[in-house]
Structure 1
Amino acid sequence: MKIAVQFGAGNIGRGFMGQLFWEAGYTTCFVEYNSALAAKLNERKQYPLRLLDAYSKQHIDLTITQIHALTTEEVREIAEIFSQADMIATAVGVKNLEQIAPLIAAGVKLRHQEQTSPVDIYLCENLYEAADMLKKAVRQCLDSETAAWAEEHIGFVGTSVARMVPAASGRFGVQDPLFVVADSYHKLAYDGPARRGQEPDIQGMYAVKNFQAEVERKLFTHNLGHAALAYLGYLKGYTYVHEPFDDPELCAIFNGALDETTEALLKRYPDDLDAREHADIRKDVNIRFGNPLIMDTVQRVARDPIRKLGPNDRLIGSAKLCQQYGIFPKRIASICGAALRYDYSEDPEAVKLQAMIREIGVAQTLQQVSGVEPTSAFGQEILNTYDELQKKSMLTPQ
């Protein structure tokens, strides 16, 4: 029996990794902080997953079986199953990695004692440095001998998750706390050189030699494009991220921004990124983002604008990449201007951002949040767009 341990039974845990493990014949143990969710998984021993395929415009209903769950309070039991696991993954959110480090360390200690074969921990977290963060936190819980053993036998492997998993609200017509909805994207790139164990026997998982190139491609294509649709779509009153694809004005900004990053990415990674493959990825992104079945809200995709306007995140990071290769990020500046105007009252970070703008002005807010000099050409382009977005033509759906 092949065993997988999945830390986190949320959207990505159940909506992606659970499917991959199930299809590959694993028995999966979810490790979950939410005790009520863990109890429900143990009661049912299965959960429903609906895949919304952008190409066929059909949905596929699956029942994921061969599962059980442990709560994060069950430290000894977690260590025991960790010591037996063939595959391990996390999808807990970057801010929670330090909380699961002692649980992983307990499992590492037991694997060391039992001299179990090497195993890898695949981090499905939305941060390039996530694997290093968890590795460091786990090391701090180990003695020197076990830490040395873990260096050779425990891999901390970053992944690039591109599957979209929107909130499974009642709009999908299913009232079930375990119900998960996702798009049908089935690929998971991972950092090949970081692996210590065997290559995963899981369809869809594949190794890349230059993980940074893969992460930046996702951040500056997938994440940037999603942000464009969300922030610009919000200002025009759209509800879902697929709706701007029927708006020529917003499509021009969306495609223009990805043209800017495409040119920069191919210049930066000529040996790692293929132009034809990248063109295919962009086509796939357009089809999947434009999938009306997903019904992903602009508010969900736009949430936390302060982080997304950070110096190295999808917006400003994209612009920096472009400027490094002599490409002026005009369309990216338009998205940044829209993000600065994101004022959704139920998003605490949006409320905080607007409060900063009222208190110190948009120029100083841009400098503090994004590290962008307001008097620079790029800063001026953002501020000009910010002012232009007050015009009625950008606030009314066409």
Structure 2
Amino acid sequence: MTAQPGAAVVIGAGSVGIAAVAAPLTAASVPVVLVSHSPAAARCLQAGVRIVEGDAGGASTTTFRPAAVLCSDDVEAVGAAIAAAACVVVAVPGVEDLSLARLLWSGLRRRETPVDVVVCTNVPDEARRLADLVGRLGPTPVGHRFAGALVDQIVTCRMKPVRGLTLRSEGPRRLVVDGAALHGSLPGDSRWASTGDFAGEITRKLCTFSAGHAAAAYVGGLRGHRRVEAALRDPEVELVVREAIREGQAALSATHPVVVTTGPTVALLRRDPLGGSSRHTAELDELVARYANPVLRDTVARVGRDPRRKLARTDRICRPALLALESGGAAYALAVTAAAASVALRADPTTPPELRRASVGELLAHTAQLPLDHEFSRLVAVALDELVRTHSPLAALTALRGTQPYVPSVAMAGSGSRAVVAS
């Protein structure tokens, strides 16, 4: 392949790399060189990828064809593409893979001008770790910059023998990039929102979008639902999802600046001690609608995969719960979510036998490094006992509140949801 000056090289041809990064850049007239993991996948991608995009109001179908597709095994060709690129985007999990670092270094060492390497991640320092790994392989002539980028777009994937690869996605959403780590503007400017508080943006996503999504998957799965859309038609599942988001919002209001996107820049506002109820309610309703998007045909199995990682201290369940408890707030719905996730973890065939037999306290000590007597572990144990006994998330929430009937928050009660209240 002849190198294409001005192209964006996207390493990672998964659903996020294609639908959330490569296809929108192509739509913004930026040529994309896509790097895939295998020759077979590369051949499939060269034939084009069908993308169904939309929401309950309607959907459209397009076919994405990159300017070129390379296999990551062809280090020479990928290196040449990186050497001529306007930017490089890494959209693969596990950036500490040495083969990825070698692939990047093969191109970066040839460049005479600096380039931005954008790393799609949910971890604040993952871009820095990848930069360190590349740096250990040898010097590069100029100073390249590695910046994290937060992907906030739901994409699902289907592979059919006749029609090939089909991705289903909500509408394009801008990638929030760590502006402090960039050299300058990125190609396809409208696709990026720059922030000066990248770690704060990740925390915001984990405590709201990711927490609610996890609740829909784990509590929905426990109730026997296969699709997320169907799970959210279950009033008890919807109740837990909304309250989990609300608990995360309250924790953020108490501990972090409010983050909003204005134009191409993410602006930081003052802390909101009153919780910003109208803004929070609008955000909550939007998130639930996004999860339930019928175009996605999303499954609880996909959203809930890898429960061990999602029960980590810094991830979407324990992170907002610990922030909530540390700030004097509630973490009841998050405890119900964690209890349901522990059921999924025990049912996962890859879970070690000792974790399947572990108590709640022992399990969270392993996944989240919590002391055995931590308050959140106690709440999760109470929730799990009630879920096992009644199979009712509402009963679990009521048990966590003591003998008082469970009453949804004011923000939720005014949101038009189908929430139920214990009698």
What amino acid sits opposite 1:103 in the alignment? L
Instruction: State the match for 1:264 in structure 2.
Output: 251
Question: 2:82 matched to 1:86?
Answer: no
Residues 329 and 21 of structure 1: CA distance in aligned 2, closer, same or farther (over 3 Å): same
Instruction: State the match for 2:27 in structure 1.
Output: 23
- Aligned 8 A contact 2:90 2:118 in 1: yes
CA RMSD of aligned residues (A): 2.4
Instruction: State the match for 1:365 in structure 2.
Output: 363
Deviation per CA, 1:34-81, whole angstroms, max 9, x where unpaired? 111113334x3x332111x2251x221112234211111211221211
Q: Give the TM-score taking structure 2 as reference length.
A: 0.82
Question: 2:98 matched to 1:98?
Answer: yes
CA–CA separation in structure 2 for the residues paired with 1:233 and 1:205: 33
CA–CA separation in structure 2 for the residues paired with 1:86 and 1:219: 31
Instruction: State the match for 2:51 in structure 1.
Output: 49
Residues 157 and 281 of structure 1: CA distance in aligned 2, closer, same or farther (over 3 Å): farther
CA–CA separation in structure 2 for the residues paired with 1:317 and 1:62: 38
- Aligned 8 A contact 2:34 2:66 in 1: no
Instruction: State the match for 1:127 in structure 2.
Output: 123
- Aligned 8 A contact 1:87 1:121 in 2: yes
- Aligned 8 A contact 1:93 1:126 in 2: no
Deviation per CA, 1:116-138, whole angstroms, max 9, x where unpaired? 2x321111234332211211111
Instruction: State the match for 1:68 in structure 2.
Output: 68
From 307, 315, 321, the equivalent of 1:313 is 315
From 197, 203, 222, the equivalent of 2:190 is 203
CA–CA separation in structure 2 for the residues paired with 1:258 and 1:395: 15
- Alpha-carbon shift at residue 227 of structure 1 (Å): 0.6
- Alpha-carbon shift at residue 343 of structure 1 (Å): 5.5
Which 4+ stretches in 1 moved above 6 angstroms?
A: none
Instruction: State the match for 2:150 in structure 1.
Output: 160
Deviation per CA, 1:135-154, whole angstroms, max 9, x where unpaired? 111111123xx37x32xxx2
Matches within 5 A, 1:240-319: 240-270=227-257, 272=259, 275=276, 279-319=281-321
- Aligned 8 A contact 2:119 2:146 in 1: yes
Residues 107 and 298 of structure 1: CA distance in aligned 2, closer, same or farther (over 3 Å): same
Deviation per CA, 1:133-189, whole angstroms, max 9, x where unpaired? 21111111123xx37x32xxx22111111111113155xxx8433332222242211
CA–CA separation in structure 2 for the residues paired with 1:245 and 1:360: 30
Instruction: State the match for 1:222 in structure 2.
Output: 209
Question: 2:323 matched to 1:327?
Answer: no
- Alpha-carbon shift at residue 280 of structure 1 (Å): 4.1
Residues 50 and 329 of structure 1: CA distance in aligned 2, closer, same or farther (over 3 Å): same
- Aligned 8 A contact 1:356 1:365 in 2: no
Determine helix, strand or coil for the equivalent of 2:156: coil
CA–CA separation in structure 2 for the residues paired with 1:323 and 1:28: 45
Residues 239 and 360 of structure 1: CA distance in aligned 2, closer, same or farther (over 3 Å): closer
Instruction: State the match for 2:399 in structure 1.
Output: none
Unaligned runs of 5+ in 2: 261-268, 270-275, 395-419
Determine helix, strand or coil for the equivalent of 1:184: coil
Deviation per CA, 1:244-268, whole angstroms, max 9, x where unpaired? 3222222222111111111121222
Determine helix, strand or coil for the equivalent of 1:378: helix
What amino acid sits opposite 1:17 in the alignment? V
CA–CA separation in structure 2 for the residues paired with 1:81 and 1:185: 26
What amino acid sits opposite 2:43 in the alignment? A
Instruction: State the match for 2:42 in structure 1.
Output: 38
CA–CA separation in structure 1 for the residues paired with 2:358 and 2:389: 23
Residues 343 and 371 of structure 1: CA distance in aligned 2, closer, same or farther (over 3 Å): closer
- Alpha-carbon shift at residue 319 of structure 1 (Å): 1.1
- Aligned 8 A contact 1:190 1:206 in 2: yes
- Aligned 8 A contact 1:38 1:69 in 2: yes
CA–CA separation in structure 1 for the residues paired with 2:279 and 2:132: 35
- Alpha-carbon shift at residue 213 of structure 1 (Å): 1.1
CA–CA separation in structure 2 for the residues paired with 1:271 and 1:302: 28
CA–CA separation in structure 2 for the residues paired with 1:384 and 1:229: 20
How many residues were matched structurally? 376
From 229, 238, 242, the equivalent of 2:225 is 238
Question: 2:175 matched to 1:188?
Answer: yes
Instruction: State the match for 2:8 in structure 1.
Output: 4
CA–CA separation in structure 1 for the residues paired with 2:225 and 2:365: 29
